[in-house]
């Protein structure tokens, strides 16, 4: 019986509306040059009024299922990584399951902020390697535009909306080689969004200590990547591509330097989409595949960080193998 977990399908969805830095100049005290110099972001996507985390997730999921050649009724489980669901309950994953027609699938959400997709992917792989399930859909979907204070230039310029999804299936050859998950709850106040069930009432705007998050991110990307590579029994020189959480170009370049990886081995698309939180890594993975950056048996690292403060890294061997 197969006891390996492998990504066999992938898909993404980006809202049609593009918000450029020039447009932001008319909304808040900022400039295109200021945003690019500090973040590398040139534009981001903004969900339409009738789009939600679940509707975007469904678009990405359908692409992933098509790529995997799998019908929704074959899914055993749907995991949605999000911290911007349209409902407190039921889970966003329940809405996705219903829209897809995945009648026999269990469904739940996972919230680890920007690390959420890797947390969810690691969870899916554990279900498969344990022999519990064979076909799992993992989605990262976020609508951060609805929790931003559009008068705060330190946060509103950073984020965008979107969704990315993968199908994970049991395989006879290795796909997931290792993972590392971590969290430091003592630093929860570094980036957070209050909720309707909290002690304080008021607007549910994202709040962030940018300098603290920057320092944390560079250090933890380096640490988690090295730990995951070591756990996989590999050396950094064995890694063909690093796909990090797309938060800030300066963070990614600093982290690559600290790790010792050349920039040509780091996939970056934050300039086009901004920080899409749990959706950023699967969106970047889809684009890396589309651009021919991954080939059979390539080894790649997915690494993320976010609210919690949380972090996660995963080493994969690329290729669809036999199922």
Domain around 40 = 4-171
Query: Does any domain span residue 323?
Result: no
Q: Would you state the pLDDT for residue 112?
A: 98
Please tell me whether residues 68 and 87 are part of one structural domain: yes
Please tell me whether residues 38 and 159 are part of one structural domain: yes
Q: Would you state the pLDDT for residue 319?
A: 85
Q: What share of the chain is helix, strand, coil (3-state, %, to 5)?
A: 40, 25, 35
Please tell me whether residues 235 and 293 are part of one structural domain: yes
Please tell me whether residues 21 and 158 are part of one structural domain: yes
Q: pTM of the predicted model, to two decimals? A: 0.97
Q: At which of 171, 193, 222 does a domain end?
A: 171
Please tell me whether residues 27 and 167 are part of one structural domain: yes
Please tell me whether residues 197 and 156 are part of one structural domain: no
Please tell me whether residues 162 and 268 are part of one structural domain: no
Query: Does any domain span residue 322?
Result: no
**ω before 201 within 30° of 0 (cis)?**
no
- The tens digit of pLDDT for each residue in 208-266 reads 999 999 999 999 999 999 999 999 999 999 999 999 999 999 999 999 999 999 999 99
Rg (CA), the chain: 18
What's 87's domain CATH number?
Answer: 3.40.47.10
Query: Does any domain span residue 154?
Result: yes
* Residues involved in catalysis: 114, 245, 275
> Which ranges of the chain have pLDDT less than 70?
1-2, 320-323
Q: At which of 171, 205, 234 does a domain end?
A: 171
- The tens digit of pLDDT for each residue in 264-283 reads 999 999 999 999 999 999 99
Please tell me whether residues 157 and 197 are part of one structural domain: no
Q: Would you state the pLDDT for residue 320?
A: 57
Question: In the chain, how many domains are there?
Answer: 2
3-state secondary structure of 38: helix
């Amino acid at each position: 019986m197969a006891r390996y977990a492998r990504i066999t399908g992938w898909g993404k969805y980006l809202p049609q509306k593009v918000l450029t830095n020039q447009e932001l100049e008319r909304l808040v005290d900022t400039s295109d040059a200021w945003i690019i110099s500090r973040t590398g972001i040139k534009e981001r996507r903004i969900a339409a009024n009738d789009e939600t985390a679940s509707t975007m997730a469904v678009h990405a999921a359908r692409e992933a299922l098509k790529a995997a050649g799998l019908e929704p009724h074959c899914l055993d489980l749907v995991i949605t990584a999000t911290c911007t669901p349209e409902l407190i309950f039921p889970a966003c994953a329940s809405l996705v399951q219903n829209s897809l027609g995945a009648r026999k699938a269990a469904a739940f959400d996972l919230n680890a902020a920007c690390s959420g997709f890797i947390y969810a992917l690691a969870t899916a792989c554990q279900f498969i390697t344990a022999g519990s399930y064979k076909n799992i859909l993992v989605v990262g979907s976020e609508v951060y535009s609805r929790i931003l204070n559009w008068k705060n230039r330190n946060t509103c310029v950073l984020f965008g909306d979107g969704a990315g999804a993968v199908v994970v299936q049991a395989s006879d050859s290795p796909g997931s080689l290792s993972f590392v998950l971590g969290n430091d709850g003592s630093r929860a106040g570094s980036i957070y969004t209050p909720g309707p069930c909290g002690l304080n009432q008021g607007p549910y705007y994202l709040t962030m200590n940018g300098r603290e998050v920057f320092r944390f991110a560079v250090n933890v990307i380096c640490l988690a990547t090295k730990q995951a590579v070591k756990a996989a029994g590999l050396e950094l020189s064995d890694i063909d591509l690093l796909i990090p959480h797309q938060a800030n170009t300066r963070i990614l370049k600093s982290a690559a330097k600290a790790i010792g990886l050349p920039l040509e081995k780091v996939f970056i698309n934050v300039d086009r989409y901004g920080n899409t939180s749990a959706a950023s890594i699967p969106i970047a993975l889809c684009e890396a595949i589309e651009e021919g950056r991954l080939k059979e048996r390539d080894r790649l690292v997915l690494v993320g960080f976010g609210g919690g403060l949380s972090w996660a890294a995963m080493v994969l061997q690329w290729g669809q193998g036999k199922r």
